[in-house]
Amino acid sequence: MSDNDEHISYDIIDDHAEDEEGEIKENVFHETSKSIPNLPKAQPANIQSNVNNYTFDDKIKEYLAANRVKLAILTPCYGSLCFVNYVQCLMATNDLCHKYGIEVVIEFCRNDSLVSRARNNLVAKAMNDPNVTHVLFIDADITWSPIDVFKLILSDKSLVGGVYPLKSYFWDKIINDEKNPNVVQSWIDRKNNSQFKDRISDREMIQYNLLKYNINYIGTQLAIQKNLARVKHLATGFMMFKRKVIEQMSRAFPSTKYVDDVGFLSGTENDHAYALFDCGVEDGHYYSEDWLFCHRWSKMGGSIWIDVSISLMHTGNEDFRGCYLASIM
């Protein structure tokens, strides 16, 4: 989680601004007025109406006509446990991918208490299939909309994901101070002065702002272009990367090569076993496996992106329903 999450501000890029890859982007409000769901929805009955409303149907078909996509969805699930919401979302996502002719492979790593090894072994399995083009980590306690997966694919970014909340409410956020004598009312006022006014309730806005989100920023401003923003670190709970990311990182960090000794990989799968997701100290910081993965990719000149329109739920002792964009408005 970012150390400066209380102080982040955001910039909306002009309609004709160009991103670093030279693509013309729209103002985020043009897109988000259509594409921000109130909460993650996994019911198949809602999917087709959402696709039509967001004109995703044409966008998806156009993208798939120009790009081959085979998606590997990877989930570490210690104790062989997945939450019901996760299972429902996974089935709905598989159905929607099938509708558009996207082949999906799903891999689980059960009973490995070392999550970094589980992630690396899962990636090795996916990379052993030469037809896999996109890899998506989804943790077993995440709830999402199948549309969110297509948003990540259509972004065409090498490393991109959604932002989900930590599994705790941070009640110190509602402590008033001289600069803000009524914190809760200020959240509601922000909501009422934004495109969220008629989309989420006051109660939901308070809930979204009592949460903190698993992300680390580059600076104190977040430049949003067509729902996408560049960040420093992104958690792996809902992270997609293209095949070329692993190929390039494996060449850049050959010392991370290993041979699986827990019996998860077999045969040529071991050829792709690299500990790119690992805990370690870099530049004086003790990084978790997802932070270190992002750090390594950044050192290679790569960029990390989030789609701010994606709303995810993180399940612990209760369902922590997040809406990242509402929390920074």
What is the per-residue pLDDT across 138-162, written as a single tens digit (0 to 9) for each?
A: 999 999 999 999 999 999 999 999 9
The answer to whether the beta carbons of residues 121 and 72 sit under 8 Å apart is no
Q: Which H helix or E strand runs over 146?
A: helix 146-155
Residue 277 sits at φ, ψ, to 5 deg, of -95, 105
Interval 75-82 mean pLDDT: 92
**Would you say residue 180 has pLDDT above 70?**
yes
Instruction: Give the C-alpha separation, 327 to 200, whole Å.
Output: 12
| Exposed/middle/buried for residue 271 (C-beta within 10 Å: 0-12, 13-18, 19+) | middle
Stated pTM of the model: 0.83
pLDDT grade, residue 177 (50/70/90)? confident
Q: At what angle do helices 146-155 and 84-99 cross, to 10 degrees?
A: 60
Tracing tokens 């806005």 back to the chain, one arrives at 205
User: Which parts of the chain fold into alpha helices (H)?
Assistant: 28-35, 44-53, 56-66, 84-99, 115-127, 146-155, 183-192, 202-210, 243-252, 289-299, 324-328
Residues 84-133 pLDDT 10s: 999 999 999 999 999 999 999 999 999 899 999 999 999 999 999 999 99
Instruction: Give the C-alpha separation, 175 to 208, whole Å.
Output: 16
Q: State the first-to-last Cα distance of the chain, in angstroms, to the nearest integer.
A: 18
Residue 257's DSSP bridge partners are 274
**Would you say residue 240 has pLDDT above 70?**
yes
Instruction: Give the C-alpha separation, 208 to 202, whole Å.
Output: 10
Was domain 39-168+228-317 assigned CATH 3.90.550.40?
yes
Both tokens of residue 280?
Answer: 């370690």
**Would you say residue 16 has pLDDT above 60?**
no
Maximum C-alpha span of the chain: 64
Contacts of 247 by beta carbon, 8 Å cutoff, 6+ apart? 127
pLDDT at site 77 = 94
Residues 285-320 pLDDT 10s: 899 999 999 999 999 999 999 999 999 999 999 999
Among 54, 50, 42, 96, residue whose Cα is nearest residue 71? 96
